Amino acid sequence: MFALLVIAALVVLPIGWALLLQWRRGATGRVRRGGLLVGAVAMMVGCVVAVAPDASASKPFRIPAPIGNSNTFPAGTACAYTLQADLVGGNRVFTFFDNERFHATGRHIDRFTNVDTGTSTTIDQQGSFDSVPSADGGSVLRGSGINAFVFFPGDAGPGDIQNGRTYLFTGNFVAAMDPAGAITTFTSTGTSQDVCAMLM
């Protein structure tokens, strides 16, 4: 069940969302929040923990994305400035499976704000996101449609990997995440936009 919670946290405010935030220990021992800007980890994990004994038996467990949740990324982790992501609408649903697979689908409307300047933009994300466990203890992440993704310093992906960055993808992407939560490979088809640059 712990691994299921880790996968769940990965995709939330996967604003994945995401969202999809994941709380894991990184290679340096610091707490990592990674994955999509999709939702609200605290609320989602609380819901999953509350029903975990019954939910993990055999049937997939579904919960709606928690509208109204807010996540703040300190300067340097998702953008050069402090980035706030608020889930303001949509109908996204998270589905958890016994084999630790995670699936999210539906609309996810998020407001991204540069806390330093107050500049904000609202992005209507639509599509799906999947996280499937891999044999090495990591996960394979797949997104389709319109999805935002946060890359923490050191994560493979577009832009300068030495810095945190956030991108909006229209199309498909595939990422490999190691057991420590770092993105080791990332490929995408379609278009991408630098969310950090939108808010400068």
3-state secondary structure labels for all residues of 41-61: HHHHHHHHHHHHHHHCCCCCE
Give the pairing type, strands 61-64 and 102-114: unpaired
Helical (H) or strand (E) element with 132:
strand 120-133
With a cut of 70, say whether residue 113 has pLDDT above it.
yes
- Mean pLDDT within 117-128: 97
pLDDT recorded at residue 47: 42
Please, which pLDDT band fits residue 58 given cuts at 50, 70 and 90? confident
Q: pLDDT above 70 covers what percent of the chain?
A: 72
SS3 assignment for 70-103: EEEECCCCCCCCCEEEEEEEECCEEEECCCCCEE
Q: Report the percent of the chain where pLDDT is more than 90.
A: 70
> Rounded to an integer, what distance in angstroms lies between the CA atom of residue 35 and that of residue 24?
11
CA-atom Rg of the chain in angstroms: 15
Dist CA 29 CA 44 (whole Å):
24
- Which residue did the predictor score with more confidence, 137 or 26? 137
pLDDT tens-digit series, residues 173-189: 999 999 999 999 999 99
- The answer to whether the beta carbons of residues 144 and 172 sit under 8 Å apart is yes
Q: Cα(115)–Cα(34) distance, rounded to whole angstroms?
A: 19
Domain span holding position 8: 2-198
46-to-8, 66, 89, 129 alpha-carbon distances in Å: 11, 11, 20, 21
3-state secondary structure of 62: strand
Counted domains in the chain:
1
Judged against a pLDDT cut of 60, whether residue 94 lies above it is answered with yes
The CA distance from 68 to 83, in Å, is 16
Q: Across residues 107-112, what is the average pLDDT?
A: 96
Q: Does residue 54 surpass a pLDDT of 60?
A: no
Q: What is the pTM of this model?
A: 0.73
